[in-house]
Amino acid sequence: MPYVAGGGPQADAGSKEVIDVYHSGNVYANGVPIALWQDGIEAAVAAAVSAYIANPQFTTDQTIQEIEEGNTDETAVDSAQSQLIASGTLSKADLVAGSQAGNNAANADTKSGTARPGAAAAAPTPASNIDDTVLYTSTSGRIYYLKTVTKQPGVVFPYDVATVAPQNGTTAAAVIQNLANLVKNCFDPIKLKYPDAFMTCSFRAKGVGSSTSQHPFGMACDIQYAQASKADYFTRAQWIRDNIPYDQFLLEYKTTGTKMPWHHISFNASGNRGQVYTFMNDKNCKGPGVVGLYDLSNQ
């Protein structure tokens, strides 16, 4: 079986890692692609992002997700949902349809999460154009730039760090470091395990969603998968819970909009809590504070 040093754009740049070509990323020589093993998956990811944005439910999903997602205060969620129902954005029938989902799960795994510390990423060197700042370079050779995780076409809901970070009461430098930590510890290991993973969002504006959201500080991202079924989100969540360091990990479902689930994951360099919950329509499917993973793909 042939082998290559490294497995991506950096394969000819001094990498000492040796990977068999069938499990490597795309292989390049002097910047020229010579083995595009991952092209099918990357094409599927690009198609999934484009399809999401082109979906008639995109605007609805954006409104609902950014107002409510990640909020563990059910009173605040109830208030937000009432306003969305009054505006016609949400259907009360959709919410009722998911209200008893936790009592009728297809599968259940009540194991709690484990608090793992992870490791802070090296401080990124600012680029003259902030969006070109390199956050992290994966062992696969994949380079994560700031724009890779904050802007289209890489993500579904884009935000500009340079302008929005100060509005969030933080700095671009702090957000960049948090995103680097998040990519190194959470997203890249998930991407290596599940190459069809893509972010719907990471950094976003404060005040758009939960008051306790970690998104405005670059500490959280939402993940979907181009080639996963609804049931796959449950089994993949089990692997993430057991193998990835995180502060909070949510398996999220909805009966609204596109009705597709997602994973919300955050990383806190100051200390991870290892919290694991399952949400349906932005509320804990088993009641406030109940931990565990529940397969709600049958809803």
DSSP secondary structure string for all residues of 153-197: TT-SS---HHHHHHHTTS-HHHHHHHHHHHIIIIIHHHHHH-TTE
Whether the per-residue pLDDT at 11 is higher than 70: the answer is no
- CA-to-CA distance for 59 and 11, rounded, in angstroms? 40
Please state the rounded mean pLDDT for residues 116-142. 97
Q: Are 197 and 244 in contact (CB under 8 A)?
A: no
Q: Above pLDDT 90, what percent of the chain?
A: 63
What is the Cα–Cα distance from 297 to 34, expressed in whole angstroms?
Answer: 40
Please indicate, yes or no, if residue 97 is contained in any of the structural domains. Answer: yes
Q: In this structure, is the dihedral angle defined by the CA atoms of residues 51, 209, 294 and 74, taken in order, positive or negative?
A: negative
178 occurs within a structural domain: yes
Give the count of domains, the chain.
1
- Cα separation, 224 vs 211, in Å, equals 23
Yes or no: say if 269 and 178 are a contact pair by the CB < 8 Å rule. yes
Q: Which residues contact 196 (CB under 8 A, 6 or more apart)?
A: 41, 44, 45, 48, 225, 226, 227, 228
The per-residue pLDDT for range 45-83, each reduced to its tens digit, is 999 999 889 988 888 887 777 666 666 677 778 888 888
DSSP SS3 for 63: helix
Summarised one tens digit per residue, pLDDT across range 140-192 is 999 999 999 999 888 998 999 999 999 999 999 999 999 999 999 999 999 99
Gap between the Cα atoms of 261 and 224, Å rounded = 7
**How far, in Å, CA of 84 to CA of 80, rounded?**
6
* CATH code of 119's domain: 3.30.1380.10
User: In which residue are the tokens 């360091």 written?
Assistant: 245
Grouping H, G, I as helix, E, B as strand and the rest as coil, residue 219 is coil
| Strand duo 275-280 + 197-201: pairing | unpaired
Q: Is 295 exposed, middle or buried (0-12, 13-18, 19+ CB in 10 A)?
A: buried
208 lies in a domain?
A: yes
Q: Is the pTM of this model over 0.75?
A: yes
Q: Is residue 27 part of a domain?
A: no
Assigned domain for 69 exists: yes
**Residue of 156, 111, 151 whose CA lies nearest to 131:** 151
Residue 232 — pLDDT band, cuts 50, 70, 90?
very high
R_g (Cα) of the chain, nearest Å: 19
Print the domain residue range for 209: 58-295
Confidence of residue 31 (pLDDT cuts 50, 70, 90): very low
Determine, yes or no, domain membership for 9.
no
> What's phi and psi for 265, nearest 5 deg?
-140, 140
Compute the distance between CA of residue 229 and CA of residue 279 in angstroms, rounded to an integer: 17
In this prediction, residues 90-112 reach a mean pLDDT of 92
Position 75 scores a pLDDT of: 79
* Mean pLDDT along residues 245-268: 94
Average pLDDT over residues 29-58: 75
Residue with more model confidence, 264 or 210: 264
Tell me what pLDDT residue 276 has: 97
* Residue 134 within any structural domain of the chain: yes
Q: What is the DSSP track for 243-288?
A: HS--SEEEEEE-SSTT---EEEEE--TT----EEEEEETTEETTST
User: Is the predicted pLDDT of residue 268 greater than 70, yes or no?
Assistant: yes
In a domain, 36, yes or no: no
Q: Token digits for 86? A: 């009054």
What are phi and psi for residue 75, nearest 5 degrees? -65, -45
Burial 46-55 (b: 16+ CB within 10 A, else e): eebbeebeee
